[in-house]
Structure 1
Amino acid sequence: MMGAKMNSYLMSQDARGQAEFYVQALGGEIQFLTTYGETPGTPDIMKDKVMHLSLTVAGTNPLMMADTFEPVAYNRSICISLSYDDVSEATSAYAKLSEGGESKYPFALQPWGAYYGEVIDPYGVTWMITKQ
């Protein structure tokens, strides 16, 4: 049976700024960034826009991004979930992601025995934070 590796790829109106926010909020590092300006014949207005960016967040979790030329409309139908082993790391991630964003579901111990919270970051991405 063949398999595939799945990665999250976010389209953004500010991929560079959004990636830097995630590095600050979750820890990690931008691994690769290329702009449209690196492609011959790119119009000046597009030269600084991100064609492809890859980063790692909260350890070695890959996340890819690019700038889009149309409005971005994230919705709650798709969320990014992070599961932590340590409650203080999970609490910190929740707090940092919610700075400038919106707390949808406060991070707290739930009746099913895990800590859980949901936040929409300042860029409109919904994150589900769990500590088992």
Structure 2
Amino acid sequence: MAIQSINPYLILGGRTDDALAFYHDALGAEVIALNRFGDVDGSCPEAMRERVMHAELQLGAARIMLSDGPADAPTAGGAVSIAVRFDDAAQIRRGFERLSVDGTVIQPLFDSPWGTLFGVVVDRFGVSWMLDCTKT
């Protein structure tokens, strides 16, 4: 059996709708799947009906999955970053700037010694992003 893909799955504790709009604006991500708990389980508690059970974002050739998770889902995890490679310097600058809004810049974009424009930002949802773009 061969692994076909590995996708980050973000559990956002009730903030998935905001994250979907934010990542669309920041990175041009497109929602390709969205299911709410109430769509799938008619017997779920009223407070859970509008929470996102599963969503998928398409970012270029990559996918990120997201969920609000159950009401008591822990939202903290290990040290994980989503690494994104761009092919356009203007696009990386735009994405970095937008991800930084209400977030924390860990490493401002800079001309790295390994030949890329590189930066790290933790967005307002606590997701760490490592962005780079080959310098041309």
| TM-score normalised to structure 1 length | 0.91
Q: Which 4+ runs in 1 deviate beyond 2 A? A: 1-4, 68-71
Counterpart for residue 100 of structure 1: 102
Q: Which residue of 23, 46, 50 corresponds with 2:52?
A: 50
CA RMSD of aligned residues (A): 1.4
> CA–CA distance in 2 between the matches of 1:101 and 1:20?
15
Counterpart for residue 81 of structure 1: 83
Query: Identity percentage over the alignment?
Result: 31
Q: Extract unaligned runs of 5+ from structure 2.
A: none
Q: Extract unaligned runs of 5+ from structure 1.
A: none
| 3-state SS of paired residue (2:42) | coil
Code of the residue aligned with 1:5 in structure 2: it is: S
Residue 63 (structure 2) pairs with residue 72 (structure 1):
no
> CA–CA distance in 1 between the matches of 2:22 and 2:130?
17
Farther off after superposition, 116-125 or 12-21:
12-21
Counterpart for residue 17 of structure 1: 18
1:61 is displaced (CA, Å) by 2.1
CA contact (8 A) 1:28 1:60 kept: no
| TM-score normalised to structure 2 length | 0.88
Give the length in aligned residue pairs. Answer: 130
Code of the residue aligned with 1:63 in structure 2: it is: I
Q: Which residue of 103, 112, 120 corresponds with 2:114?
A: 112
